[in-house]
Amino acid sequence: MTTVETTVREVQHFINGNYEASSDQQTFKVKNPATQEVIAVVAEATEQDVAKVCAAAREAFENGPWRTMTVAERCAKIRRMADIILERKEEIARLEALDVGKPYSHAFAAEVPRAAHNLKFFADFVEQQGGETYPMEDAYINYTRHEPVGVAGLITPWNAPFMLTTWKLGPCLAAGNTAIIKPAEMTPLSVSLLGEIAKQAGIPDGVVNIVHGKGSVVGTAITKNTDVDLISFTGSTATGKAIMRNGADTLKKFAFELGGKAANIIFEDADLDKAIPVSIQAAFLNSGQVCLAGSRILVQRSILDTFIEKYKAAAEALVVGDPQAAETKMGPLVSEEHFNKVKSYLEIAKEEGATLITGGGTPELASHLKEGYYLQPTVYLHEDPKARICQEEIFGPIVTIIPFDTEEEALRIANDTDYGLNGVIWTENLKRAHRISHGVRAGTIWVNCWFVRDLRAPFGGFKKSGIGREGGQHSLDFFTEAKNICIAL
C-alpha cells in the first residue's frame, strides 16, 4: 500500500494574493472517503468574505495590470502556471486521490497533465487569435476586438476538481478576465494550490482568487454579487437552475455544463474486444462519478448473452481498493451522503424488477478501508428504458444494460432522456455510425471510443445537460465581449 502523510491540512481562502481565514474564523472538515479520517479543516466563507473576494477581483480587473498587459506577457505567465503544475504533478495527484477518492494512478497519468494542458492550450490559442475586418467600399472599415468580460465566477464540482477548474481558468485568464474560483466543499485540496501556483507564476494579486464554503451560501453569494459579470458552472442540473434564478437580477452571462445519462450503444457488429474494456471504463472510471459515464448500455439482442458474460467478467475483474495504491482501478464514492444516495438505487432497482448481473454489495477490502464508502461495480439488466435506474443520473458505479432489436429502437431509447451530454456508438458499419451519430441528440458522440478530447472541439450538452459550449473558440466566445470599431476612411 502507498500512503500519503495523514496530517490534517488547513485550507484557507486565497484573496488578493494571500491565503486567509474567514472573517468569523468558521471552518468545516473534509474527510478521506476511503477511510473517513478527517484530512482537512477548511475556511468557510461568510457573505462578507464573498463580498471581499468579489471586490478584490473587480479591483484587479479595473485597475490592475492584467487585462492591459501584452497578450504575450499574460500568456507566458499562464504557461508558467502549467509548468509549475507539471513540476508538482505527484503532489497534486496525491491530493486529488485523497479527497475525491479517485485512483492516484489516473490523477497522475491523465487528469493533472490534462490540467496543465488546459492552461497551456488556451495561452497558445489566445496568442494566435485574429479578428474580423469588414471594409465598406472605400468609405469605412470595421474591425473587431475581443475584450475580457470582467470578473468571472468559476463554480466547479467534486468529481474532477483540478482538471475542471483549469478548464475554465485557462480561457478565463488568457482572455484577460479575473477569477473567483469556488471549488466543491468536499474536495478543496488540489484547487486550493492554484493560488500559490498563480503567485509563483507571476500572476498579479487579485487575478486568481479562491473561496471555500457551501454552495448554497458561497455559490449563491457569488452568483448574486454585482461585481461578478459571468458564471461558468459545472455541476448538477438542479444547481444550474438555482444559479440561473439567482443570477437573473444582475443579468449575468452563464455557461452551464450539467448532468448526463449517456447511452452507450453496442450493435451486433461491434468489436467486443474493444467495446468491453472501454465500456467498463465508461461505467466505472472514478467510481462512475463522471458526467460522461456511459451508464445506459444499449445492447443488440442478438449479442446480449455474449455481451453480458464478457462484461460481467470484466466488471468483476476490476481492482477496487485504496485510491493511493498503484494497482487500484476503482476507489470509494466521494462522501457518505453521496454513498447513501447511490446505494438507494439498489433498492429502487429491486423494486423496479431489474435483474442484478453482478455487484450490489461491498467489495473485499483491506482493513484500513473498512469505513470507506465503497460499492462493488454493479451491473443490472432491465427491459424497461423508462425505469428510474435507466432515467436518473446515479453518478456511481451502477450501470444498466437495456436490450434492443433494431436501429430505430436503439435511437428511440437513446433519446428517451432529459439529458443530452454525450453518446457512445460501437459498430463496424460506417454508414450506421454516421446515421446514429446524427440521430442521437447529444453534444458529443464517440464512435468506437470514449472520452477522447481535442481541446479545440466544442464540448457541452443538449437539453438539460447544459447551456453553451466549452472548448477552443467556444470558450473564448464566452469569456470575451466582441467589440466592433467602425472608422470612416
Residues involved in catalysis: 257
Q: Tell how strand 230-234 and strand 253-257 pair up.
A: parallel
Query: What CA–CA distance (Å, rounded) separates 432 from 377?
Result: 31
Nearest residue (CB) to ligand NAD, 111 versus 257:
257
How far does CA 486 lie from the centroid of its chain?
40
Burial, 156: exposed, middle or buried (Cβ in 10 Å; 0-12, 13-18, 19+)? buried
Label residue 53 left, alpha or beta by phi (over 0 means left) and psi (-120 to 50 means alpha): alpha
CB of 236 to ligand NAD, least distance (A): 3
State in angstroms the smallest separation of the CB of 117 from ligand NAD.
17
Could you give the CA distance from residue 448 to residue 272 in angstroms, rounded to a whole number?
10
| Nearest distance, CB of residue 145 and ligand NAD, angstroms | 30
Other beta carbons less than 10 A from residue 274's beta carbon: 12
Residue type, 399: V
Residues near ligand NAD, by CB under 6 A: 155-159, 164, 182, 184-185, 215-216, 219-220, 223, 234-236, 239, 242-243, 257-260, 291, 393, 395, 421, 461, 466
Q: Which is nearer to ligand NAD, 349 or 421 (CB)?
A: 421
- Closest separation in Å from C-beta 204 to ligand NAD: 25
In the complex with ligand NAD, the residue whose CB is nearer, 258 or 283, is 258
What is the DSSP secondary structure assignment for residue 204, as one 8-state letter?
A: P
Residues in the chain: 489
The residue among 244 and 433 lying less far from ligand NAD, judged by its C-beta, is 244
- The nearest distance, CB 191 to ligand NAD, in angstroms, is 10
Range 308-311 contact pairs with CB under 8 angstroms and sequence separation of 24 or more:
308/357, 308/381, 308/401, 310/272, 310/276, 311/276, 311/279, 311/280, 311/357, 311/379, 311/401
State which residue, 228 or 357, has the beta carbon closest to ligand NAD: 228
**DSSP one-letter string for 133-145:** EEEETTTEEEEEE
Q: The C-alpha cell of 398 is what?
A: 451502477
Q: What is the dihedral of CA 435, 441, 442, 446, to 10 degrees?
A: -20
Q: How far is the CB of 338 from ligand NAD (least distance, A)?
A: 7
CA dihedral 46, 52, 55, 60 (to 10 degrees): -120
* Residue number with CB closer to ligand NAD (270 or 333): 333
Q: What is the 3-state secondary structure (H, E, C) of 341-396?
A: HHHHHHHHHHHCCCEEEECCCCCCCCHHHCCCCCCCCEEEECCCCCCHHHHCCCCC
d(CA 360, CA 45): 38
C-alpha cell at 2: 502507498
CB of 315 to ligand NAD, least distance (A): 21
Contact 181, 207 (CB under 8 A): no
**Cβ distance to ligand NAD smaller for residue 228 or 425:** 228
